[in-house]
Structure 1
Amino acid sequence: MPETTHPLNFRKSSYSANASDCVEVADTPGASAIRDTQNRGDGHLAFPTSEWTAFLTTLTR
């Protein structure tokens, strides 16, 4: 999992739509961080950009 020294500016994922179970995403150079909107204090998971893109591509098939 990549470490980032850049500030994380989270936004609600467009894949969450109007659902109450939302995830937030923050983009940094070379990585994307994901966290649970309802449990922000639990931290986040970071993925290399290539892995996050592959995941999103799979979701939209």
Structure 2
Amino acid sequence: MTIPRMPYGWRKSSYSSSQTNCVEIGRASDGAAVRDTKDRSAGYFTTTAAQWSAFIDAVKSGRF
């Protein structure tokens, strides 16, 4: 059994500057992790690389 590594390299958009009501993205074993900057201790959710890529493509194409 492989134990997944904790997310690392958390960052938020440069457009957020000093705002604290944003989301942060971290690297996860096979994709990305997402958490709320207002309450980092509340946890995070993870997504596979394929799911994250599909989400980013949808955002860039204006589907949201």
Q: Which amino acid aligns with 1:18?
A: S
> 2:35 is paired with a residue of what secondary structure?
strand
Q: Any stretches of 5+ residues in structure 1 without a counterpart?
A: none
Structure 1 stretch displaced more, 33-42 or 22-31: 22-31
> 2:32 is paired with a residue of what secondary structure?
strand
List 4+ stretches of structure 1 deviating above 6 A.
none
Task: Report how many aligned residue pairs link the two structures.
Answer: 57
Q: TM-score, normalised by structure 2?
A: 0.72
> 1:5 is paired with a residue of what secondary structure?
coil
CA RMSD in angstroms comes to: 2.2
Q: TM-score, normalised by structure 1?
A: 0.74
Looking at both structures, which has the greater relative contact order when contacts are Cα pairs under 8 Å and sequence separation is at least 6?
Answer: 1
User: Using the alignment, how far apart are the partners of 2:7 and 2:42 within structure 1?
Assistant: 17
Q: Percent identity?
A: 30
Q: Any stretches of 5+ residues in structure 2 without a counterpart?
A: none
User: Using the alignment, how far apart are the partners of 2:27 and 2:7 within structure 1?
Assistant: 9
1:53 and 2:53 aligned: yes
